[in-house]
Structure 1
Amino acid sequence: MADTTGRVTIDRSSSPSRPEKRSFTIAGHRTSISLESAFWDALKDIAVEHERSLASIVADIDRNRGSAGLSGAVRIWVLDYYRQRPTL
Structure 2
Amino acid sequence: MVRKYSVTLHGHRTSFSLEEEFFAALKGIAETRGQSMAALIAEVDEDRGEGYNLSSALRVFVLRMARAI
TM-score (norm 2): 0.93
How far apart, CA to CA, are the structure 1 residues paired with 2:32 and 2:47?
A: 21
Give the drift of 1:29: 1.2
Residue-by-residue CA offset, 1:13-51 (whole Å, 9 max, x unaligned)? xxxxx2111101111110001000000110111111111
Structure of greater relative contact order (alpha carbons < 8 Å, 6+ residues apart): 2
Aligned to 1:76: 60
Do structure 1's residue 53 and structure 2's residue 36 form an aligned pair? yes
Of 7, 15, 20 in structure 2, the residue corresponding to residue 32 of structure 1 is 15
Q: How many residues end up aligned between the 2 structures?
A: 68
More strand by share: 2
Identity of aligned residues (%): 44
Unmatched 5+ stretches in structure 2: none
TM-score (norm 1): 0.74
Structure 1: gaps of 5 or more residues = 1-17
Which letter does structure 2 place at the counterpart of 1:76? Answer: V
> Over aligned residues, Cα RMSD in angstroms?
0.7
Tell me what 2:27 maps to.
Answer: 44
Give 1 or 2: higher helix fraction.
2
Deviating above 3 A after TM superposition, structure 1's stretches of 4 or more consecutive aligned residues are none
